[in-house]
Amino acid sequence: MASPQQINNLQNSFQSAVNLGGSPGIVSTSPTQSFMSSVPRRVSASRQTKALKPFSTGDIKILLLENVNQTAVEIFNGQGYQVEFHKSSLSEDELIEKIRDVHAVGIRSKTRLTEKVLKHAKNLVVVGCFCIGTNQVDLDYAAKIGVAVFNSPFSNSRSVAELIMAEVISLARQLGDRSIEMHTGTWNKVASKCWEVRGKTLGIIGYGHIGSQLSVLAEAFGMQVLYYDIVTIMALGTAKQVSTLDKLLSESDFVTCHVPATEDTKNLLSAPQFAAMKDGSYVLNASRGTVIDIPSLIQAIKAGKIAGTALDVYPHEPAKNGAGAFNDELNSWISELVSLPNVILTPHIGGSTEEAQSAIGIEVAANLSKYINEGASVGSVNFPEVSLRGLDLDQENVVRVLYIHHNVPGVLKTVNNILSNHNIEKQFSDSSGDIAYLMADISSVNQSDIKDIYDQLNATEYKISIRLLY
């Protein structure tokens, strides 16, 4: 378990990496009253670069849902933001109400940020998914309205891989059933249909961050590893990539899914795939609930084709913890599933370890703060990745222009024409699909010029959103 000191050290290293120490720079998508007042700049002596600060730090409001780790809360508090923290996710109506005037939202896997919800967000600049998966957010629509989305691409990968490894052994030894029996007073000392995992074949569908970590763990247990992925990926150890899903299914004793939720992965394993598997093999899923057709899996277990399953994710999951939350109203087949032998069910805890949650809290909070304070979108999952080096401490009358716009011809000419009365110190622009993002540091800007620059940029036909940091 990570000690508070280790967590503190981790946090410090992240903070210095993203240069969050000292005075934060603050932003807003639209000019507030404080935009027009000349807020004196605060520059920390310990910093090598100038902190940008157009507004009072208290102007930034952050809504954190789903018990996002306290490391994130501490980072945001340290920035002086207003943090509203909720342990669970919110209903759609509550979310629509809460999202109206916040600048950032932090969620995990339960909160659905749909187009309908995002349409009500009038000041939203950025979304943080404090997890790996981002399928719960309408990424295209978010980009369309100029909202960058960040996640933590691998902070919980190891935790998921370790859980799966534990479950592979637990299924092979029917551990779940033996434990339930003992809890109810039954002594059932059996060896029949209980196996070592040594020498067995693990088939991994999706050889990304989690799949490849799992590959290493499985080989250490003496397993052979096959993997199927839509892209060619270098094998770790002696694992072998197979060219078709059917080959993986027909040769594996255990099949585990580590793919994202996409149209292509919906019901990736259904009746024909279970039929193609070895008799007495096992199925594991800790990716997303849409990836496996659970009613077909139930039939395959009942028919004796599949000897057991470990599931961590479900098509519908409860919004919050509580007794009775996992029932047939949620998914009609639940009571049938729980009545079957050798079925290990966990409440979406693949990434739920102290280490993973604390690292995710720090990573995503740091990225969000950097985007809010400096405009850096590097690491965003739906945005062009743009960043500029910090401003020198002694630079006076400098403004950073953050201009998110439609990716069409003529933008640079128009924007640079607006900026041309000032010296463009540096500029970077990139596009991703229909969205483009231009960042420019301009000098020789008087306080009185700022509103004029804002108004001119705001009037351009290509604009999606603008922020000015100074």
Ligand X SMILES: NC(=O)c1ccc[n+]([C@@H]2O[C@H](COP(=O)([O-])OP(=O)(O)OC[C@H]3O[C@@H](n4cnc5c(N)ncnc54)[C@H](O)[C@@H]3O)[C@@H](O)[C@H]2O)c1
Where helices occur in 327-446 by DSSP H, the ranges are 334-338, 354-374, 411-419
Which tokens in the block code for residue 188? 């059932």
Among the listed residues 132, 249, 364, 415, the single contact to ligand 2HG using CB under 6 A? 132
Q: How many CB atoms lie within 10 A of CB 175?
A: 16
Q: Which stretch binds ligand X (CB under 6 A): 34-42, 43-51, 155-163, 330-338?
A: 155-163
Binding of ligand 2HG at residue 285 (CB under 6 A)?
A: no
258 binds, among ligand 2HG, ligand X, none (CB under 5 to 8 A by kind): ligand X
Residue 206 in contact with ligand X, rule: CB under 6 A: yes
Matching residue, tokens 């969000």: 368
Q: Is 152 in the site for ligand X (CB under 6 A)?
A: no
Which residues have a Cβ under 8 Å from the Cβ of 98 and sit 6 or more positions away?
Answer: 63, 84, 90
CB of 464 to ligand X, least distance (A): 27
Q: How far apart are CA 48 and CA 29, in angstroms?
A: 26
Q: Which of 133, 153, 315, 318 binds ligand 2HG (CB under 6 A)?
A: 133
Which residues are known catalytic residues?
288, 317, 348
- The answer to the question of residue 288 lying near ligand X (CB under 6 A) is yes
Among 69, 79, 109, 213, binds ligand 2HG (CB under 6 A): 109
By a kind-dependent CB cut-off of 5 to 8 A, residue 108 interacts, out of ligand 2HG, ligand X, none, with ligand 2HG
Q: Report the DSSP pairing between strands 463-469 and 399-406.
A: antiparallel
Task: Supply 360's token pair.
Answer: 């995710």
Name the DSSP letter for residue 234. P
Q: Which residue stretch of 82-90, 131-139, 375-383, 384-392 sits at the interface with ligand 2HG (rule: CB under 6 A)? A: 131-139
> 15 by DSSP, 3-state: which?
helix
What distance in Å separates the CA atoms of residue 141 and residue 118, rounded to the nearest whole number?
A: 8
- Residue 402 to residues 2, 181, 385: CA-CA distances in angstroms? 38, 61, 13
| Residues 136-165 within binding reach of ligand 2HG (CB under 6 A) | 156
CA distance 240 to 264: 23
Site for ligand X contains 313 (CB under 6 A):
yes
The correct pick among 25, 54, 308, 351 for binding ligand 2HG (CB under 6 A) is 351
In the complex, the residues that contact ligand 2HG under the rule CB under 6 A are 108-109, 131-133, 156, 350-351
In the complex, the residues that contact ligand X under the rule CB under 6 A are 132-133, 156-157, 160, 205-211, 228-231, 258-261, 264-265, 286-288, 312-313, 348, 350-351
